[in-house]
Structure 1
Amino acid sequence: MSTTRSLSVPLSLSAPRLRWPHGGFLLAILFVLAGAALFGRWPLVALLWQQATADAAQREQAVWLPDYRVDIEARPLAGIAANLSGLTYDPDRRSLFAITNAPPEIIELSLSGDVLRRIPLSGVRDPEAIEYVGPGEFVLTDERRQALVHVRIDAGTRAIDAGRAPRLALGIGRNGNKGFEGLAFDAASGRLFVAKERDPQRIYEVRGFPFSATAAVDIAEDAARDAALPGTDLAGLHFDAASGHLLALSEESRLLVEFATDGRPLSSLSLAAGRSGLQKAVPQAEGVTLDDQGRVYVVSEPNLFYRLTRPPPVSPAG
């Protein structure tokens, strides 16, 4: 059950039926589960078991990450040397926006990883995540300050000074460079999901920022969902409006996990070598998003771009 705290913050300018696996596949699953349990990775055990026993209806209603295969792998972004972090999809421009923190820049990308423009960013000490929240409207994180910053980007934007932008400083469990690493936005409910990287891992749900007619901000935590996080850190988030499911990215565990609306881990995608069609492991995944066609995009430090697609269902022979 989630717990909610209400804060007054001025927004100033400063059980379905299981489909049991059989034969050798079941044996392989049991070996994986036993290994995970041996090393104390019980959330991973639960995820693998849920994924192995999901029925057709559950898979159809989900993003269902196991079906995805990479079709653009480790493409270096032209002119970007290092520190690539954060990723979001802009459905109006049909492009992607990423962020770097040294130097601070916002980078617009095509859906195949071409650099379209680079926007210098000032007024944010340690930007780590970026999220589209409406036409021309974005939220950034300032990791060390544990602040959310509301900025505007349009076709003519050539530089952004976020020093005077509306911001919300949360300051929850501050511990240096292990702060806010990911963002996701649910436009229907107005929830902004904020990922705290680790020590401890948390996914906060913020209502009232950046759009609110009052100064009240509500912050909710889902303790059961946080306890079920199977990775060892949080590097990125994405909310899928079609399914209502939340995706959470772990850089250290090289894992992307789909959570159902009730907070249960439902499916996963491995970013390790030899999995999901990858020739090499994703070295340091830092951001994830989906577009309106359901394609998954991942960016990795230092400057690498990945795209994964879900093959269309095979029509039965008629």
Structure 2
Amino acid sequence: MISRILVLFAGLSMSALAMAQPSLNLSGYTLGYQFRLPGQPGMAAETSAITYNWDTGTLFVVGDEAEAIVEVSKSGEVIGSMKLSGFDDTEALTYIGNGQFALGEERTQSLFKVTYEADTTLRRANALPAYSFGPYSNNEGLEGVSWDPRNNSFIAVKEKNPQAIYEANIDFNDGTGSHDILFDAALLGVLDLSDVQVLATVPSFLGTGLDDNLLVISQESRLLMEVTRTGEILGSINLRYLSGAAEGVTIDENGIIYVSQEQPSVFVFLPPTPAVPEPETYALMLLGLGLLGFAARRRRIA
């Protein structure tokens, strides 16, 4: 009888795990530390975007004053910078490998492929052609972008009026491509969209289901969310007591999350330890104990 109960428990466990959507468990993340960014003119004043370069193990930030792309360590030490010339209101930045980035302008909703070279100046005319996500938008356009290494696509967010989350395929050789609405952004119930991060950039997440999830941040709602590609919210971190101007997010290979704010500085959130079971694990443990207790009672009655 006990063996049959255990077989049943195993079957229920597998079914529960199959139905459970993999999640980062943002509620288990803790604020590890905060560091300031170089805010002097020509550096990262009014930081609007942050991205992680897995080839160098460093962070790159850009301010909406479009003055420079700045490389910093994970604790904020400046490593180098590349000046920008001719760009306007740069709000989106994502690393795409081999020292290259996609850099987006909010108002023109243009996305450029650029190569980072420290101590040089990148001129906008030399970054053309660019891909356009739509017509000119007065400070409500392209706000964030993240590259998906699995299929070389991009997820991008438009801030508001209307909010939008796009999936795009782009050929930067001639600026052609296409983009479609990934899901209805209204499902998230936030006041604006400020940035997005694809979790598929974390190697250990590939093939686990986590790689399909996204991190989405809302500056005005002061909320960092983990969402599915159908718009289901899996978890969140309330930023209300930390910052009113957090608008950039990225993640490294260890699952550590970096949130940038305009001030400029970065909040570093550390993941929960693997030894702490997820909520569904607790449920399965309780289910197992209940079934074993039931089996023991049956034996005593028999």
Structure 1 residue 60, shift from structure 2 partner: 8.2
Instruction: Identify the match of residue 220 of structure 2 among 252, 273, 282.
Output: 252
TM normalised by structure 2 equals 0.76
Partners of 1:58 and 1:289 lie apart in 2 by 28
Matched with 1:162 is: 124
Structure 1 residue 200, shift from structure 2 partner: 0.8
Which digits, 9 at most, give the CA deviation of each residue in 1:248-289, with x for residues without a partner?
Answer: 10001110111124432211111122xxxxxxx213012100
Instruction: Identify the match of residue 185 of structure 1 among 136, 143, 147.
Output: 147
Partners of 1:315 and 1:165 lie apart in 2 by 47
2:131·2:175 contact (CA, 8 Å) conserved in 1?
Answer: no
Instruction: Identify the match of residue 176 of structure 1 among 138, 143, 156.
Output: 138
Partners of 2:85 and 2:24 lie apart in 1 by 36
More helix by share: 2
Letter in 2 for 1:217: G
Structure 1 residue 79, shift from structure 2 partner: 4.4
Which digits, 9 at most, give the CA deviation of each residue in 1:152-207, with x for residues without a partner?
Answer: 014x5532223221333425264311111101111112211111001111011110
Residue 229 and residue 100 in structure 1: after superposition, are their counterparts in 2 closer, same or farther (change >3 A)?
Answer: same
Written as runs of structure 1 = structure 2, the 5 A alignment for 1:1-318 is 61-73=22-34, 75-80=35-40, 82-102=45-65, 104-154=67-117, 156=118, 158-170=120-132, 172=134, 174-210=136-172, 216-224=176-184, 226-241=185-200, 242=205, 243=210, 244-273=212-241, 281-314=242-275
2:65·2:88 contact (CA, 8 Å) conserved in 1?
Answer: no
Letter in 2 for 1:68: Y
Partners of 1:216 and 1:64 lie apart in 2 by 37
Partners of 2:78 and 2:270 lie apart in 1 by 21
Structure 1 residue 208, shift from structure 2 partner: 2.3
Query: Looking at both structures, which has the greater relative contact order when contacts are Cα pairs under 8 Å and sequence separation is at least 6?
Result: 1
| Percent identity for Structure 1 against Structure 2 | 31
Partners of 1:93 and 1:142 lie apart in 2 by 25
Partners of 1:315 and 1:144 lie apart in 2 by 44
TM normalised by structure 1 equals 0.72
Partners of 1:102 and 1:250 lie apart in 2 by 20
2:222·2:243 contact (CA, 8 Å) conserved in 1?
Answer: yes
- Stretches of structure 2 that go unaligned for 5 or more consecutive residues are 1-15, 278-302
Which entry has the higher C-alpha Rg, 1 or 2?
2
**TM-align CA RMSD:** 2.3
**Runs of 4+ off more than 6 Å:** 55-60
- Stretches of structure 1 that go unaligned for 5 or more consecutive residues are 1-54, 274-280
2:188·2:231 contact (CA, 8 Å) conserved in 1?
Answer: no
